[in-house]
Amino acid sequence: MATDSATKQVPVSEGVFTWPSDEPRLLGSKCTDCGNVMFPTQSGCPKCSGQSTETIELGRTGTLWTWTVQGYPPKSPPYAGNADPKTFEAFGVGYVELPGEVKVETRLTVNDPEQLNIGMEMELTLVPLYTNDDGEEVMTFAFAPIN
For residue range 137-146, list pLDDT tens digits in order. 999 999 999 9
CA angle 61, 46, 49 (to 5 degrees): 135
Percent of the chain surpassing pLDDT 90: 86
C-alpha to C-alpha distance for 55 and 87, rounded to whole angstroms: 38
Please report the pLDDT score of residue 2 as a whole number.
Answer: 45
Q: Tell which residue, 71, 29, 68, has the closest CA to residue 50.
A: 29
The radius of gyration of the chain from alpha carbons, rounded to an integer in Å, stands at 16
pLDDT tens profile 9-62: 999 999 999 999 999 999 999 999 999 999 999 999 999 999 999 999 999 999
Is there a contact between 110 and 96 (Cβ–Cβ < 8 Å)?
A: no
pLDDT tens profile 92-135: 999 999 999 999 999 999 999 999 999 999 999 999 999 999 99
Is there a contact between 146 and 60 (Cβ–Cβ < 8 Å)?
A: no
pLDDT band at 77 (very low <50, low <70, confident <90, very high): confident
Query: In the predicted model, is pLDDT for residue 3 greater than 70?
Result: no
